[in-house]
Chains A and B, each alone.
Chain A
Amino acid sequence: MKILVITEQRQGKWNNASFETLVAAQQIAADAGSNVSAVVVGKGVGNFAEDAAAKNIGAVLLVEHDLLEAYTPDGYCVALSQVIQFAKPDLVLFPHTYQVRDFAPKLAAMLGKGMIADCVGFHKEGEKIVFVRQMFQGKTVADVTFQGAAPWFASFQSGAFRADLLTAHPSGKAPINKVSVVLKPEQIRTKPLELFKEAKSAVDLTQAPIIISVGRGIKAPENIPQAEALAKAIGGEMAASRPICDEGWLPMERQIGSSGQTVAPKLYLALGISGAIQHVVGMKGARTIVAINKDQNAPIFEIADYGIVGDIFEMMPALTAAVEKAKT
């Protein structure tokens, strides 16, 4: 099986999920050293091609063009559809990044194909690859297979594979093949402008050893102080899942998850958080996870070390009292 991995970098930095997807490709391919190629796209990105070539893969395809300097969905789709027609892979893999969400379904559709997006794993049934992806916000998973002829397109969720398992090239370096693409300015309809970060307050949750995080179960902004009282007693920082910040009950910079911060504290206490995948990717690295939720089937319990099935409004004051008592 020939596999192409579309890698991602921006502003001179790798998106690390690219390496996770290379690991997935190495595991899927029977012989990664001949069957996996990494595609590096951009302008002046030869150094990224060198990085990729040091891994145990068959080749790097370097796709450079003036019109690929800044990402646009049109530019990437026109260029990569030519690369795929040239390389004729069976499987095209992507890291499931925001950028991939923006262009990969269109790329597949241009070639009349579908994409299985946001996969968390795979297994093989004979020759067939079965992709595993979450549904219903992580409450269930599904086994999904491709129908019809190759090429097939799939993306892997950030964290689904461990980048540190990526093996090095046995003889030092895979060949770097330049692939030229035809791309005209009028094919690109959107115009990318500046990248920017919004001014943030001093909250850096990545450094907090203890995080008390609230989700939809908190129900109303009036209830936030109960969680804050617990955070104060235990010496933790407050955080939240996206819906709470969307509502403005806690500021955006306290959001944990794929669109917020990624944290790995000693203790992560999830109050009324169901455990949707977008949240879990931001906190699953915590050393100890405590989940309190009224729904015993909430996906958060799958990753919790300690679980309490119960009412957070009873548990918050009880825990605050127990923590205070333990101090004396």
Chain B
Amino acid sequence: MKIIVCIKQVPAKDAPLSIAGNWIKESDIGFEMNEPDSYALEEALRLKEKHGGEVVALSMGPERVKQTIKEALAKGADRGIHIANDQFAQLDPLGAARVIAEALRKENADLILTGLQSDDHGFGQTGVLVAALLDLPHATIIMQIEVQDKNMRLKRELEAGWFQHIECPLPAVLSIQSGINKVRYATLKGIMAAKKKEIAVIAADSFGAKSEPTQKIAKIYVPAKTKKTEFLTGTPSEMATKLVEKLKFDARVI
């Protein structure tokens, strides 16, 4: 089975964000693998361990995303594809999916996996759009994959505690729900082995997949508060005492 995992690199969770126009200042912050995508990668590695084949880690972005591809290789992916694109953060969901779909087209993968959504833009559309552009069947928010020959039996998460089984033929595109598995750490051996693995670099504009953007982020800003928060100060024990008093006598909830 040839499985390609689409992985995004995003600002580190605790990175202090300073807004610059319609994006953020990238200079002083760290980046990491988008957490939802790490579950997709793990699922790909588990499917390979069970059924054999190859896992390819694909990522778009500037030079820094190579670090995230290397992390995927260290965890066990066989090779990487880096779609070099310094303007990735400016693409709309359809524009980004068009470039990714073109890079995927000639790979003829059996299965393409993405995470549920990215922790930066949070569009949550890439997997579905890639499937539409490649004319492949898809399913999203997947909690379990069983491959049976040229077919998959999947468990989809619905809302409010409901699930559904569905059958989906291969090849296909799946968006993986976070928490489907327990993500592995890279071993020292894996990190050493990754150094010998190939990362193919493709220029994003080599596909001629350019399209007019369908939407534009006009500006980004810190949201206006909807509620007045009373901040408590002091030592931990002073704050604790104040809070208990507030909850008991003002809010009357304890």
Contact = CB atoms under 8 A, between A and B. Distances in A.
A195 B217 contact: no
Contacts of B138: 73, 106, 190
B229 A267 contact: no
Contacts of A291: 229
Contacts of B159: 15, 97-98, 258-259
Q: Chain A contact residues: over half helix, strand or loop, or mixed? A: mixed
B158 A305 contact: no
Interface in B174-224: 177-179, 182, 212-223
Contact of B240 (A116, A301, A315): A315
A307 B232 contact: yes
Interface on chain B toward A: helix, strand, loop, or mixed SS?
mixed
A190 B168 contact: yes
Interface residues of A, number: 95
Given A197-B161, A200-B161, A326-B248, A308 B239 contact: yes
Contacts of A6: none
Interface stretch (B59-67, B71-79, B114-122): B114-122
Interface string A179-217: 000000000011111111110100000000110000010
Given A98-B158, A105-B132, A142 B253 contact: no
Contacts of A197: 161-163
Contacts of B140: 98, 101-102
Interface in A39-83: 73-74, 77
A134 B117 CA distance: 13
A189 B168 contact: yes
Contacts of B13: 216
A140 B124 contact: no
Q: How large is the interface on B (under 10, 10 to 19, 20 to 34, 35 or more residues)?
A: 35 or more
A117 B123 CA distance: 6
Interface of A: 10, 15, 73-74, 77, 97-99, 101-103, 105-106, 108-110, 113-118, 130, 133-148, 189-198, 200, 209-210, 216, 234-235, 242-243, 245-248, 252, 258-259, 261, 266-267, 277, 287-288, 290-291, 295, 297, 299, 301-311, 314-315, 318-319, 321-323, 325-326
Given A141-B223, A210-B254, A307-B232, 17 more contacts: A98-B159, A99-B158, A105-B129, A106-B138, A114-B214, A117-B123, A136-B11, A136-B120, A142-B22, A147-B215, A190-B168, A196-B162, A198-B161, A246-B178, A305-B230, A308-B231, A318-B237
Interface of B: 11, 13-14, 16-17, 19, 22, 24, 35, 92-94, 97, 119-125, 128-129, 131-133, 137-141, 157-159, 161-169, 177-179, 182, 212-223, 225-227, 229-232, 236-237, 239-241, 243-248, 251, 253-254
Top 6 A-B residue pairs of the complex, sorted by shortest distance between their CB atoms:
A114-B214, A246-B179, A318-B240, A189-B137, A322-B240, A105-B125
